[in-house]
Structure 1
Amino acid sequence: MVSLINKDLAHICDTVNNMDSYCVLRGQVNGLGYSPDARLMPYLELAGSGSATLTWTFDLWYDLISALVGRWRPETHTFHLPCGECTVTLEDVALQFGLLIDRNAVTGISAIAEPAALCYSLLGASPDDDESNFLKLKFTWLKANFEHLSVNATEEELMCAARAYIMHIIGGVLMPNSNNNKVHLQYLPLLADLHNVGSYSWGSAVLVMLYRELCQTTKPDAVDIGRCLVLLQS
C-alpha cells in the first residue's frame, strides 16, 4: 500500500500539525427547503425519487468531515484509518437514498440553447432572469413557485412540480456545490419523461461526484467542500 501513495503530492494532512495554517473546511447543505405536496408522491415514486424525498438533513460536523478528508487518499479513493481502510460505497448510496446504481450513466449538456423555453416546457414557468442564457435555477425560486399548489392543480401542473422538487433534491442534497444555492439546469432534460428517470444510475453519479470532491479538497489550499456531505458524515 505504501508504494501506491505519492509522497510528492501535496496533501491537506501535511498541514494538520501546523495549527497556523490548518482550518476546518467550510460547506453548505441547502436541504429541501419544503416538504412535497402529498399529491406529488405518486410522480416522485414513478421517477424513483420517493425514498430520496424522505431524507432528513441534519447539522453537519465540519471538524469531523475535515478530519475524514485528511485521511482520504486520491490514489486509492479510500480513507486510511488506524484500524484499516474504508470508503463510501455504491451500496451505501443505494441503501440510504434508495437510488439505483446499475442503470444508464447520468449525462447531460452543459450549454442549453434556450433555457427559458426548456423551463416553460418542463416546469411551466421560467425565472425572470436578466440573462437569457442562465444555466442554474435558484432554490428560492423553486420554493416560491412550487411549494404551494392550487387545490385544482392539473396532472400537468403536478408533474411540473414533481420535476421542480427532484431538481431541488439533486442540487440541495444529492449533488450540491459548496456555498451554492442553485442547481444546474443540465439535469432538467433528464426529467422530461418521469417514467424514464429511473433508467439512470443516479446513485453512481452521486458517489462519483463525492469522490471527485474529496480528491479536490485534499489539496492544502482547499477551504470549501460540497457534494453529498449527508452521506459522507453518516
Structure 2
Amino acid sequence: MAQRYEGISVVSGPFDHDDHEPKFDWLLGFQIQWLGYLEIQLTKPQITRCLEVYLLWLLGKVMFTENHVTTITTRYIPIALEIANATSADMITQRSWGSAVLSATYRGMCNGCQRKAPRSGLLGCPLLLQLWPWERFPIG
C-alpha cells in the first residue's frame, strides 16, 4: 500500500500503518484532504486511490465495525483494491453484502451480550440497528 500511495497524497502524509493494517486516522486525513479539492482535476491514479480509501473506511468502520479502534483490518484491502481498479462491473466479484452485514451484526449483538468489560462496544453494523427500527416502527 505504501508504494500505491506514494506521491498521491501530500497533506495526509506518508502511508501510516500498525502491524500491516492501515491506521484509521490516516484514512480520515486522506479523505478530508480531497474534500477541499473537488473543483480541481484529479488524475486517474488519485481518483482510484481516493475510491480505495473510501471503500476501506466504508467496509472497516461502517459496514463491519470490529474491535480495531485505530486500524482497519487487512482483509478489506484486496476487496477495496479490486473494486477501485475495476473498469467495468464484470471485473468485480459478486458478493452478498446484505447477508454479510446482517450476520456480522448478529454476531456483534451476540458477543456484546456476553462481554463484561466496561469499555466493550457493540460490533457489527450499529447503523443498521439504528435505521431498521426507525423505518419499521411508526412513532407519533
Q: Normalising by the residue count of structure 2, what TM-score does the alignment of the two structures yield?
A: 0.65
- 5+ residue gaps, structure 1, are 1-117
Provide the C-alpha distance between the structure 1 equivalents of 2:97 and 2:25, rounded to a whole number of angstroms. Answer: 24
Does 1:136 find its partner at 2:21? yes
Q: Normalising by the residue count of structure 1, what TM-score does the alignment of the two structures yield?
A: 0.41
* Same amino acid, percent of matched pairs: 23
What is the aligned partner in structure 2 of residue 186 from structure 1? Answer: 75
What is the aligned partner in structure 2 of residue 155 from structure 1? Answer: 44
Specify the structure having the higher radius of gyration (Cα): 1
Question: RMSD in angstroms over aligned alpha carbons?
Answer: 2.6
Q: Name the one with the larger strand percent.
A: 1
- Give deviations 1:96-136, integer Å, cap 9, x for gaps: xxxxxxxxxxxxxxxxxxxxxx3433x4565245x6xx232
Does 1:230 find its partner at 2:115? no
Q: Which has the higher contact order (CA 8 A, sep 6+)?
A: 1
Q: Note if contact 1:171-1:177 (Cα within 8 Å) is conserved in structure 2.
A: yes
For residue 15 of structure 2, the aligned residue among 106, 127, 130 is 127
Does 1:201 find its partner at 2:96? yes
Counterparts in 2 of 1:138 and 1:128: CA distance versus 1, 3 Å: closer
* Deviation of the 1:190 alpha carbon: 1.5
Moved over 4 A (4+): 123-126
What is the aligned partner in structure 2 of residue 169 from structure 1? Answer: 58
Q: Name the one with the larger helix percent.
A: 2
Letter of the aligned partner of 2:15 in structure 1? P
Provide the C-alpha distance between the structure 1 equivalents of 2:81 and 2:112, rounded to a whole number of angstroms. Answer: 34
Number of residue-to-residue matches in the alignment: 113
